[in-house]
Every structure is written in C-alpha cells, then in structure tokens.
Amino acid sequence: MGPKGGKRQKRILPDLNMEEQDNQPSPVLQIATDGDVILVVGPEEAKFLCHSLFLKAVSGPFSAMFGPDWNEGHTMAGQDGPVEKALPGDNATSIHLMCAVFHHKLEQIPEIPRACDVLGIAVAADKYLCVDALKLVFANWLSPRGRKAEDLMLLATAAYILNDAKAFEEITKSLILNHEGSFFALSCEDFEKRMSWRVYCLLEEQRSFARLKLAEILTTEANLFKCGDSECGWSHGYAYAYLRLLERKNFWSTTRKSSDRRGIAYELSISKAISWVENLSEPAPEISNDCVGGRIHTVPDYKKSRRILLEGLRNNTGLCLHCIQSDKFDSSDCLIEH
C-alpha cells in the first residue's frame, strides 16, 4: 500500500481533536467527492463526505441506516445535497480510515497506522459488521514487526476483537520472545476491558516455560554424544567441558552466593537468549585416556544438534486465541491442535 522504498505515507487528516473556532463549522473531508452522506463523527463532530453505496455494500448496519426504512434513507431520496448522519459515539480517526479503505482512497491511509488507531478501527469494524471488508489491510496492520511492547498489547486486543487467531498468536509470540520486563507493566484500559487479566499470567507462564525449555535443550545436549566403552573419557570429557562452558559464560546462576545475580537465561529476552545459545562456542575438553573405539570418535557438533530444537522453541511460542475465548486457558481441551 505504501510507495516504493518502504517509506511511510503521510496521513492526510484534519485536526480531528481541534474544537471549532470562531463558531465556524467543521471542515468536511471529502472521502468521496460525489458523496451523498456526511458522517458527523465523535464529540468533535468531524465530518466525512462518503458515498452511501460503498458503506451499504460492506456493512449491514450501514445498509439498514441508509435504506428505505430509516429516516436518512427517506431524506436522501428526496434531497439533492448530501445528508448528515451523526455518529457521536464513534472515534473520528477510526471512522475516517475505515471509510477511506472502503472508498479505495489510498492516499489518505497510512502504510502502518498507530497501534491505537488499528484497535479503534477494529472496534468500529466489529460494531458495523464489516470485518471481512478490512481483512486485507488488517493482515498488514496487525504485523508485530517493529512494534513496541505497549503497541503489541493494543494489536493483540485488536486481533482478539477481529477473531484473527493467526495474528493473535504471532503478536503474543513477539511479546513472549522479545519483552524483557513485566507484562503487567503493559496494562492498559483498552486491553483489560476487552480481555481477561489472566492473559497477562499466560504470557508470563509461556515465557517462563520457554526459559525452562531453553535450559533443557542445553543440559540435555551434554549427554547426547556417548561412547560404547564405559571407561572411555571421550563423552564424559565433552559433557564436563560443555557444562563448564555454560557456567563460565554465566548462562545461569549456579551458587547461592550468586543467587542475587541472574544468569544470561534470565537477564535477556527469550529471543536474545536463543541467539546467545546459537552463537555459543564449542567446548574444548582435555581427554587423556585411550579408548578401543577411539578411532571412530568424532567431535560433537553441538550447534547442529540444537538448531532444530531452538527453531521449534521459537515456532511453538504464542497464545491460542481459541483457548482464551473458551475461557478454559487449557490447551488440552482446545479443538485446535497445539
């Protein structure tokens, strides 16, 4: 939707938060130059000239509102100029961007709207039953790429309202993998009044599980390479050197004296900790005893063995929208395979 080069388009909007000055009427933003209805939106009474045909085509409520059974429909049939329709309970920016999409006014639509605007549009789309008409733009707007944690909470709320399970999983995955602080610190009114506070607990639960899984991947690898000779020091030497390497690199605190100093596994975000593990150097053991099977010994490739496990950890992170909507918060009862 954006211009070449990936630059964001400027949003062509009137000052929707500015009150009327000198008793002058609010300017009318022409979304459709030949429109037949002016939507007067919000307490600031921002005005948008639209075509009722476009609105009725995508929205059942708008179809009824501008149909023959409503006053606006009768007035439109017998009036030359556009008819005003007040929508005092809606957000002006949300209605503007939503109608701009319906009228294909790409120059009025930012490539990446603010997260609060995306949530506002989701609320409006749900209210006017026109979610399907916005699926293509929401597929881009709900992308977590480059978003801050605070914005991701708003996008997660929007995905919840739109019943977009895939986007919800991707957004919560980004939160779990990349956020380093408390999820409760991201609390906001828009999130809490639409979803259960237990979602915060689930995010923290999955992040803690991911840390444990990462530790399991590393410690299990210490015993992956074994020799058939019970007296051989090859596998034991590599296992000991591997665990000592993790200790020296301070992957986790190992003594009571250092219990107040968290290791890499807890100081970094999950995503950074995974990258740290991927770049971990190979252990250099000191092996002196001979083994009858020594000629078939090979140097363990720890990086290769854990690559698939780390990728699985990344891919299997994220909350299931269906579990949350069912209010069971238990994947074992979910109809969707996890």
Alpha helices in the chain (DSSP H): 52-58, 60-65, 71-77, 92-102, 115-127, 135-141, 149-162, 165-178, 189-192, 198-221, 234-248, 264-267, 270-278, 302-315, 321-325
Whether the per-residue pLDDT at 121 is higher than 90: the answer is: yes
Task: Write the pLDDT tens digit of every residue in 306-329.
Answer: 888 899 999 999 999 988 887 665
Q: Coil, helix or strand for 83?
A: strand
Confidence of residue 134 (pLDDT cuts 50, 70, 90): very high
* Cβ-proximal residues to 260 (8 Å cutoff; 6+ apart), any chain: none
Q: What integer best gives the mean pLDDT of the chain?
A: 81
Task: At 162, list the tokens.
Answer: 């739109």
Task: Write the pLDDT tens digit of every residue in 156-172.
Answer: 999 999 999 999 999 99
Task: Write the pLDDT tens digit of every residue in 283-308.
Answer: 776 665 556 555 566 666 777 778 88
Task: At 308, list the tokens.
Answer: 């698939």
Radius of gyration of the chain measured on its C-alpha atoms: 28
> Greatest CA separation found in the chain?
101
Whether the per-residue pLDDT at 214 is higher than 90: the answer is: no
